[in-house]
Amino acid sequence: MDFGHTAEDEEFRTEARAWLAAYAAPSAPRRTWERTLGRAGWIGLGWPEPGYGNRTATLTQQVAWAEEYARSPAPPRSGHIGENLLAPTLLAHGSEDQKKRFLPPIAAGEELWCQGYSEPGAGSDLAGVRTTAVRHGAHYRITGQKIWTSLAHEADWCFVLARTDPASRRHHGLSFLLVPMDQPGRIEVRPIRQMTGTSDFNEVFLDGARARVEHVVGGEGQGWRVAMSLLGFERGVSTLAQQIGFVEELGRVVGTAVRAGAVTDPVVRERLVRQWAELRTMRWHALRTLGGSGDPGAPSVAKLLWAGWHQRLGELAVRVRGGEGGVGPVDWSPGAPYELDADQHLFLFSRADTIYGGSDQVQRTIIAERVLGLPREPKGAV
């Protein structure tokens, strides 16, 4: 892969090697790593427009970078929501002023974003938004609650879907607003403790939070169109990078099964082979649809494939260990934080895979209605 090597690239390699060597501690600052990537120009490779501090790359180069990053022991990314979701949306629907204001800090790894979509009581029904935004002069005042907001505790900004027309229903009268998170007294973030003991998701309470009028993307009342466009950007080279991680996880499960003698069980052998075959199928599907457009069912098919696959792998990871799968890596006592090994974390965290990002039921409904042309599911008024 040749992006054209520069002195800055050599500096990045040196800094990256030092960073990776130091990344043994879970508390290592991921924001610092985002800035390291940004200084070297490795954020925004997939953006169709250069000139925001990013470098552009061909689709093949993007795949190569994403897969090599996934194979390395590099830290998890905390800037992917801004880079892969908001940035393409701004490029498609944002004004020139919005692009100039928000894209360079994303490319530099300086500003992190979260997604204000899901709400209590609505689940995966995105059109059931009850958060309101009322215009007061040069600002909107936003009131409501968002839930399952990934990385909100780290984010500088949040793109919020809110109802700007109080008389509207369902997907009408919504707007897509860019909201700064540093608003004490107006925005409260409460981490949600998960089964894994970690808190990657959050509740976000908006009590008169302010967003500037010029930070409405696509125009007032056009939020549904913008929000649907953003969801389409969740598909891309990141899917292939995700599958590299799946390969590593499957290899670890197979190794555990061999060491534990579980491969003597024909049912376990059949499941291991099936996991391998399904992962290969996912890769071929991702390559076939990569860079495609106009297929409303492709993102939903991909989500159904990987979510169920990953959940079944988590179940298999603890099954091949027998009784040992229920024993933690360190002694535990009531009232103390518990620790999980990699297989146990995989099993517990993957329970959410078929829910977040649109539940399996929602994905099947999208395929039924938008691809197969079946009658729409009746929905109550909001």
Annotated catalytic, 234?
Answer: yes
Q: Which residue bears the tokens 């808190």?
A: 199
CA atoms within 13 A on the CB side of 335: 0
Measure Cα distances from 362 to 97, 329, 369 in Å: 35, 37, 11
Residue of 234, 249, 270, 324 marked active site:
234
For 132, the token pair is 């309101």
Distance, in Å, from the CA atom of 107 to the CA atom of 93, rounded to the nearest integer, reads 18
Number of CB atoms found within 10 A of residue 245's CB: 13
CA pseudo-torsion sign 346, 347, 348, 349:
positive
Question: Judging by DSSP bridges, how do beta strands 139-146 and 201-212 pair with one another?
Answer: antiparallel
Q: Which amino acid is at 145?
A: Q
CA angle at 12 for the pair 291 and 249, rounded to the nearest 5°: 55
Query: Residues with catalytic annotation?
Result: 234
